[in-house]
Structure 1
Amino acid sequence: MTGTNAPPLAPEHVVAVDVGGSGARLVAVPAHGPVADDTLALTGRPVRITAAGSDAADVVAELVADLAGRWPGVRIAAAALSVTGLPSLVADPGALHDVLHAAGARATAVAADALAAHLGALGGRPGAVAAVGTGAIVLATDLRRRWHRADGWGHLLGDLGSGSWIGAHGLRAAVATHDGRPGPASPTLLAAGIERFGPVEGWPAALYGRADRAHVLASFTPAVADAAHAGDQVAQGILHDAGTHLAETLAAALRPGIPPLAAVTGGVLQIGDAVRTPLVARLSALRPDVRLLPAEGSPLDGALRLARSLVDDRGGALVEPYEPWVTVRGTARPSAPPTPDTGARREGDPRA
């Protein structure tokens, strides 16, 4: 783990943590007053997914222990987590709250990374946000009563257009080229795959047994992007399809009752127009009423916004607590009882 040099400490801080498939980040800023002169920052390892589920609680525990070790005496007024896989792979979100309270936090929020991405990208406004990194998920919500998820089902079942999806399709194209199957070939992707993973015959052993398989697949995405930028038509087709899938997932999530406002955030968008152009074109065709805005901030920014809301004058979270998307401890506003995520609220739902 790495961190900044220790600045002078303000009396109390709010802490935000973003735990993802490519790594973890923590920032702590003064609970009140200017931020720039008194910010703490740490980085940590990626989350691991095993048969027991996510080890996100261990990642957070490592980061807060590092924080306490580097800056003894830091006081945490409130903390918020952005956690990948929260709706599906984190067996007990309460364990994440426990880690933060054990570190001294008085109020805590644990949010799915999709919600943190939403709060960061749209700045706390209702609408839909696609969070596209190692995985891909769209959350459309009014931040109070209406919630709908599309995709985010992991690299085996979904995550269409994500880093793991692009990397996997790049490797499949490389294997097809290796086999000499009919259709467009990509010697460029085959050569890049061999350089990254060794001989093709060893790829199953190199990939199938990995607990961080999605992260490893996503690590091949830069090679696909490089090949596309160099004119490789197979790679260009993969990126075009990625953008198209993301647009279709956004359109699927924007149900009635949610404003037609959208943003896309995450590392895949750094590829540029090869993904963005087909995304915009397909979304415009499916939903011409939707305004697609540039993302204002990152999931970490969203988690920090959520943490700050726990100590503001309103005394409550920025969003209405609703499992599995967000739970809150230590505020006057209690979490809603556990409710399975069935998508948009239906007609007749008393909470709709």
Structure 2
Amino acid sequence: MTGHDVPHAPEHVVAVDVGGSGARLLAVPVPDGAGPADDTASTPVSLTGRPVRITATGSDAADVVAELVDALARRRPGLRVAAAAVSVTGLPSLVPDPGALHAVLRDAGARSTAVAADALAAHLGALGGRAGAVAAVGTGAIVLATDLRRRWHRADGWGHLLGDLGSGSWIGAHGLRAAVATHDGRPGPASPTLLAAALERFGPVEGWPAALYGRPDRAHVLASFTPAVADAAAAGDLVAHGILHDAGTHLAESLAAALRPGIPPLAAVTGGVLQIGEPVATPLRARLRALRPDVRLVDADGTPLDGALRLARSLADPHDGDLVEPHDTWLTVRATTHPSPAPAGKEIRP
């Protein structure tokens, strides 16, 4: 994308958030005082894309980002990109080399690019650049506690087979397990409500293994059952309510585990699971208070997309380039050109 066909078109910063439930892109003009205020080329562009897929070779996040930047080029021909940042799930375990993502952004014309783990983007969005801990809870769940400089501590984020406790995929999976237990007639609390909801969504129980086990988007499919668990809990289903209570407890325990010495006792939680409300939030607050009474739990300022946008703006503005130190695991930054020297301590990879 170049600006040759759009005279006086402002440069934009581009933020992309790629996750297990979908992807979003936001392109925002960089204020420069040029052009009329009502110029179409000066308005932000917002796009949505598909969820990331996990295959035997890893994540296809680079393909998701390529699809979105292609859609941006069609929507806004001639758009110039000063800087771009991607928040991506699965970094670094399922996206071992962020180079492909940098290449996609560079092909879109971005002079400076950043590829951040979704946990870091969630942190920057939720705490607005402050040090502390953030639990990012969507399809998966991960907690990152950091001072954004030298201290980096992680809890969970190990995927739906090994962890992601309290996440959408965890809640959905436990809802389906409860439905299967009810179907089998096993001893213990039964949930006809969850069984009925699962049968309506997935068909006969005998077909569930084949429908789930071989899917590359299995975590997303499991998370898609979370609203049914929330609805059942709201209707008084004790099994569903117990699942949500345990989800909140797990999230609090992950926050407490990540908040190591040297990290301010400040925390926030962000992500779609929090939309369930008090059935998750109440046990989360209670367990965190019991484990770490010194921690101040605050409302999230913004989303991972907001965090990616903050990163992109810091790259475009040389006076705001020290938002966060690059890190082999959490953030890589690259620049094809840089008119002014990089801020002290800023790693710019050619």
Q: Which TM-score applies when normalising by structure 2?
A: 0.92
Q: Report SS of the residue matched to 1:63.
A: helix
Aligned to 2:143: 138
- Counterpart mapping for 1:140-219 below 5 A: 140-219=145-224
Q: Determine whether 1:86 maps to 2:91.
A: yes
Distance 1:320 1:54 in 2: 25
Cα offset, 1:313, TM superposition: 3.5
Cα offset for 1:108? 0.4
How far did residue 315 of structure 1 move? 6.0
Displacement of 1:316 in angstroms is 2.4
1:23 and 2:22 matched: yes
Separation (CA, whole Å) in 2 of partners of 1:296 and 1:323: 26
Choose the corresponding residue for 2:327, options 306, 322, 344.
322
| CA deviation vs aligned residue, 1:124-163 (integer Å, no higher than 9, x gap) | 1000000000000000000000001100000000000000
CA distance 1:146–1:241, change in 2 (3 Å): same
Deviation at 1:335, TM superposition (A): 5.2
- Aligned equivalent of 1:279: 284
Aligned partner of 1:13 in structure 2 is 12
Contact 1:265 1:295 in 2 (8 A): yes
Q: Which runs of 5+ in 2 are unaligned?
A: 1-5
Corresponding residue for residue 116 of structure 2: 111
Match of 1:60 in 2: 65
Alpha carbons 2:325, 2:347 under 8 Å: kept: no
- Partners of 1:335 and 1:246 in 2: how far apart? 35
Name the SS for the 1:88 alignment partner.
coil
* 1:334 matched residue in structure 2: 347
Bigger mean CA deviation after superposition, 86-95 or 284-293? 86-95
Find the aligned partners of 1:31 and 1:81 in 2 and give their Cα distance: 18
Q: What secondary structure does 2:136 align onto? A: strand
Q: In structure 1, list runs of 5 or more residues that go unmatched.
A: 1-6, 337-352
Task: Indicate conservation of the 8 Å contact 2:189/2:239, yes or no.
Answer: yes
Is 2:270 the counterpart of 1:265? yes
* Distance (whole Å) between structure 2 residues aligned to residue 10 and residue 138 of structure 1: 40
Q: Is the 8 A contact 1:317 1:328 kept in 2?
A: no
Deviation at 1:10, TM superposition (A): 4.2
Q: Kindly indicate whether residue 133 of structure 2 is the aligned counterpart of residue 128 of structure 1.
A: yes
Q: Which residue of the partner structure matches residue 3 of structure 2?
A: none
**Structure 2 residue matching 1:89: 3-state secondary structure:** coil
Equivalent pair of 2:141/2:157 in contact (CA under 8 Å): yes
Distance 1:9 1:309, change over 3 A: same
Distance 1:232 1:69 in 2: 48
8 A Cα contact 1:194 1:200, kept in partner = yes
Contact 2:10 2:31 in 1 (8 A): no
Residue 318 of structure 1 and its aligned partner are, at CA, apart by: 1.5
In structure 2, what residue type is equivalent to 1:288? P
What amino acid sits opposite 2:19 in the alignment? G
SS at match of 1:100: helix
Aligned residue among 247, 261, 281 for 1:242: 247
CA contact (8 A) 1:120 1:302 kept: yes
C-alpha distance in structure 2 between counterparts of 1:67 and 1:291, whole Å: 40
Q: Look up the match of 1:226.
A: 231
Query: CA–CA distance in 1 between the matches of 2:16 and 2:217?
Result: 20
For 1:129 and 1:65, locate their aligned partners in 2 and report how far apart those are by CA, in whole Å: 32
Shift of 1:32: 2.4
Deviation at 1:8, TM superposition (A): 11
Code of the residue aligned with 2:246 in structure 1: it is D
Would you say the 8 A contact 2:10–2:32 is kept in 1?
Answer: no
Q: What secondary structure does 1:138 align onto?
A: strand
Amino acid at match of 2:45: L
Measured against aligned partners, the alpha-carbon deviations of 1:271-329 in whole angstroms (never above 9, x if no partner) come to 00000000000000000000000000000000000100011132624200001100001
Q: Residues 302 and 111 from structure 1, CA distance in 2 versus in 1: closer, same or farther, beyond 3 angstroms?
A: same
Q: CA RMSD in A?
A: 1.7
Matched residue type, 1:157: L
Q: What per-residue deviation string (whole Å, max 9, x for no partner) do you get for residues 2-30 of structure 1? A: xxxxx998420000000000110000001
Equivalences, count: 330
Distance 1:317 1:85 in 2: 25
Alignment partners' CA distance in 2, 1:204 and 1:123: 42
AA aligned to 1:16 is A
Is the Cα contact below 8 Å between 1:310 and 1:318 reproduced in 2? no
SS state at 1:134 partner: coil
CA distance in 2, matches of 1:140, 1:27: 26
The AA in structure 2 aligned to 1:90 is V
